[in-house]
Structure 1
Amino acid sequence: MSPLVDKQSSQEHSIIENKGDAFRRLAKPNLAAMQLQLLPYDVLRNVLSRLSLKEVVRMGILSREWRQLRICHPELVFTKDTFSNITTDNTEQREEMTFAELMDFNAKKLEWLTRRFIKSVDNVLRPLWYTPTTTTTTTTTTTLDKFAVKFGLWKKHRYHIDRWVSFSICSRAKHIVLDFTSEDIGFGSQYDKYKYSLPLSNLGGTNGSCVRSLYLGNIYLETPPSFCGITNLKELTLNTVSISGDDLECLLLSCSLLEILSIEWCKPLSILHIQQELCQLHYLRVRFCDLELIELHASNLNKFEFDDSLKQIKLSECLKLSEATFVSNMRAFEFDEYGFDFTFAELPTGLPHVHKLFLLLNPDQVLRFSDSQSRFINLRHLNINLETFFYPDDTSWSVGLVNILELAPLLQELELHLGRDRYCSSAIRTVMAIEGHVHRHLKSVYMSGFCEVLGLAELALYILENATMLKRMVVDPVSYRDPSNDDIYSVSKGGISEEDLYDINQKRAFAEMYLGREEFRHILTIL
């Protein structure tokens, strides 16, 4: 073949290769040139929503592109753990300090942590808000599902908190949490003057129309004269909030759609008496408030939780109130020693429509509970969680429980759960059924934590012999109730016990010895 032909063939091959390269460059995108901003906003926001806010903050530090995109996480929850730069000092240095030096050191450390926290929150929010040069009003195009700040802050930090609250409102946040309680700060009325005062007017009317739930902790609240309410608020939680009864009444009446209300450690509340009806309220929780009286008109209220800091209850007009929970704060103390004078005598009158009643008591309280002369005329289910910190010296507490059963003539289900911290005597004793009236409606009984506690086997025998309609009794030697908290155990909840099970066989043998009669075999189950 001639050189001329070879040259021509080589040129044609080169042209074909160049065209192929050009085609491949068109067909294959340049990955290095791809930009995050080319992705739809919703896609980027969805990516962020799958990360924790702490991970998002770290990613923003490492990637300038993410920071410049100004894509907001739908849930902005700021706590001390959100930021890696909010750290504590080691304890080696503090061990050598005097008490005065230690107090000064802790105060300076807390102040430093607070400054770092505020700066960190501002760094996250700054790219998301915009302040026009002609006004001090903060605006944003961000939309939030939740905005939360959980850190020990005070009135002196008002400038920053006000901006954050403004940002949450402008971002149309549905759920707002401002919890300024902290284990590092003081607690008591002497600190009320240092609490941050929330401007409720910022949440009123159309400004706060997107807010569905509001949690406030360690805050001072006062309703302004022209307050028009948080239009669509459905859930309100007040924890360690300084508010008067009149201001709380004004706040509740102005939130016409309120469904859930929780009040805890709020002072100086003494009486909560609202004459107008709270039409939508269906759940109410009142704890540690030292209320002399609570009287509400809530036709749809169906669940109520309270403790022995509440002295008098008037909820007789709450016709749908079907479930109530009482937790005793004094169950770890002997009443005679501490002069506790609370009685349950008027409770059936205050809660006449209750179908389910949950109680967390000690044996002495069970006896006092039975002093009432009125009855639970609608009670069908009774759950008693019993703490036997003090070993009963006699069976009087179980006699008191029999009296409680007589106060509920239509009771059908009974649960009795003993806590794990209990003392049981190993001494052999004679077990006989407690005397009492016949119960003609009780059908189901469940006892957990069954053991040698004086009065428990006697109570079980009474039920087996006197509940004429009883279909099933379960005796479980395992205790599921944790005495370290206020949670009430129920069979419907289930759960796993952390109790040492080494003596379960002994307790099971005790139950078999005194309850395992042939006449009860078709009813009784010993687990």
Structure 2
Amino acid sequence: MQRDSPKSRLKMNIELDKLSNLPRDVTEKILSILPIKEAVRTSILSSEWRYKWAMVPDLVFDELGFPGVLYKLDKLVKMVDHVLFLHIGPINKVKLSHKGLKGTADIDRWILHLSRNSMKEFIFKFWKKPEYKMPSCLFSCQDLVHLELCNCLLKPPRTFKGFKSLKKLEIESVTQTQDEFENLIVCCPLLKYLTMIDCHGFTKLKIDAPNLRIFCLLGAFEDLSFQNTLKLTSIAIYLTANGDQRRQKPGISSNLLKLFDQCAYVQTANILGYFLKYLAVGDLPVKRPKPCLHLKLLRINIDFNDLKEVLSTLYLLRSAPALQKLYIRVRQEGQALVGEVNSWLDGNQNFQLGKLQIVEVRGITSTKAVLDFIKFLLLNSPMLEKVFVKPASHYSSSELLVRLSQFRRSSALVEIMHLDP
């Protein structure tokens, strides 16, 4: 075996000295870019590098950092133990999201250890069944700024007074009671970003968050209300279930007005799935009490066979004088309207969408109500520049463009174009 020459060993030592003499912040930056498994391996470079990895503030344990260990749980557990319990200095971020993790006793031990540090960001995704019961020690982490949990059961202790520093909360497939959820939100006074996906244990959502800016929700619910959310600028709500929303009872106050009463400063609204059907419940007054003066972008799913959905959409458009971009996805479900297909046009010819510039409509059918709605937009949008259209699979693109080209329009500059997949 050929040995390294003295010259090559000297060159290697010089290179290692250069690395060892780098400023600490540069070294930490280099190590933070590496997967944690590779960062730990730098300990063999020299005695100077033996424990540098132990000062990395961001610890990520996922498939990218630990590929190919799905069926080697013991090795993964040893590695996490090694990294966590030899770590030196503050821990800013920890991510545990590996499909090989299934031993709840090991996870309990790790979270208990982390709760004794000033952790700022914790991302935990548990991929096994049943869901993981989060230990009470997590709720003592008062330095948390970002918390992301997936497939967990949350049961805060009675002494829990909220996360006073938390600004971003993302929960998916998380189970908790109605009172526990409401208390969690109201006791996070700095909360700015809230994302909820398919959560369980409660169906009535009351969001009381005075600093909330962005709200995203996907799932089934019976009721949704906002309180003290006048700083909210963006909402994205996808209601997955088409339930009976008390549609037949007269005298019910409008869900649409209730929602936007506390969302007066919203600039972007995504009304997706069956959420418009929920908003269409209740009686809309003739006069709009509070216009959405700041709404500039609206994405909405509409069943044009549901007259209340169409009227609610028109009401919302009339309440949004600053609207610039409108994205529509057609959701056809019920029987085509008979005798009422043009009734919504009668009382809505006297207003204009004065700032609307971009319209996109996907899933267009030959249904008269859909085409009349596009005709209405063309007639009442003097600043319109582009209309992108995509028909449903059974409807010819060329036939659609021919029909739309025959519609009158108030903007001389508008272009009607087929939307590519």
CA shift at 1:77, angstroms?
A: 0.8
Supply the distance in 1 between the matched residues of 2:270 and 2:188 (Cα, whole angstroms). Answer: 29
Distance 1:147 1:384, change over 3 A: closer
After superposition, the C-alpha distances for 1:190-214 in whole angstroms (9 at most, x for unaligned) are: x35xx333233x652xxx3543212
CA contact (8 A) 1:147 1:175 kept: yes
Supply the distance in 1 between the matched residues of 2:206 and 2:221 (Cα, whole angstroms). Answer: 11
Q: Which residue of 2 aligns with 1:234?
A: 167
- Where do 1:176-325 residues align within 5 Å? 176-180=122-126, 182=127, 185-186=128-129, 191=130, 195-200=132-137, 204=140, 208-227=141-160, 229-269=162-202, 291=203, 293-306=204-217, 309-315=220-226, 317-321=228-232, 323-325=234-236
CA contact (8 A) 1:411 1:441 kept: no
Distance 1:450 1:472, change over 3 A: farther
CA shift at 1:32, angstroms?
A: 4.7
Q: Which residue of 1 aligns with 2:92?
A: 145
2:272 maps to 1:360: yes
Q: Which residue of 2 aligns with 1:114?
A: 73
Q: 1:383 aligns with which of 295, 298, 311?
A: 298
CA contact (8 A) 1:432 1:461 kept: no
Distance 1:197 1:409, change over 3 A: closer
Supply the distance in 1 between the matched residues of 2:316 and 2:219 (Cα, whole angstroms). Answer: 20
Distance 1:155 1:78, change over 3 A: closer
Supply the distance in 1 between the matched residues of 2:165 and 2:276 (Cα, whole angstroms). Answer: 42
Distance 1:385 1:66, change over 3 A: farther
CA contact (8 A) 1:242 1:266 kept: yes
Q: For residue 236 of structure 2, what is the amino acid of its counterpart?
A: T
Q: For residue 45 of structure 1, what is the amino acid of its counterpart?
A: E
CA shift at 1:219, angstroms?
A: 2.8
Distance 1:225 1:302, change over 3 A: closer
Q: 1:472 aligns with which of 384, 394, 398?
A: 384
CA shift at 1:252, angstroms?
A: 4.2
Secondary structure at the aligned position of 2:155 is classed as coil
Q: Which residue of 1 aligns with 2:250?
A: none
Q: Which residue of 2 aligns with 1:351?
A: 260
Distance 1:441 1:239, change over 3 A: same
Q: Which residue of 2 aligns with 1:341?
A: 244
Q: For residue 157 of structure 1, what is the amino acid of its counterpart?
A: T
How many residues in Structure 1 have an aligned counterpart in Structure 2? 379
Secondary structure at the aligned position of 1:149 is classed as strand
More helix by share: 1
Supply the distance in 2 between the matched residues of 1:359 and 1:81 (Cα, whole angstroms). Answer: 34
Q: What is the TM-score when the length of structure 2 is the normalising length?
A: 0.72
Q: For residue 373 of structure 1, what is the amino acid of its counterpart?
A: D
Q: Which residue of 1 aligns with 2:328?
A: 417
Secondary structure at the aligned position of 2:373 is classed as helix
Segments of structure 1 that go 5 or more residues without pairing to the other structure are: 1-24, 88-111, 130-139, 270-290, 389-394, 424-430, 480-498
Q: For residue 167 of structure 2, what is the amino acid of its counterpart?
A: K
CA shift at 1:250, angstroms?
A: 4.5
Q: Which residue of 2 aligns with 1:440?
A: 351
Supply the distance in 2 between the matched residues of 1:320 and 1:245 (Cα, whole angstroms). Answer: 24
Supply the distance in 2 between the matched residues of 1:71 and 1:373 (Cα, whole angstroms). Answer: 62
Supply the distance in 2 between the matched residues of 1:173 and 1:418 (Cα, whole angstroms). Answer: 42
CA shift at 1:48, angstroms?
A: 1.3
Distance 1:343 1:441, change over 3 A: farther
Identical counterparts, % of pairs: 17
Distance 1:228 1:310, change over 3 A: closer
Q: Which residue of 1 aligns with 2:107?
A: 161
CA shift at 1:174, angstroms?
A: 1.9
* RMSD (Å), alpha carbons: 4.2
CA shift at 1:526, angstroms?
A: 1.5
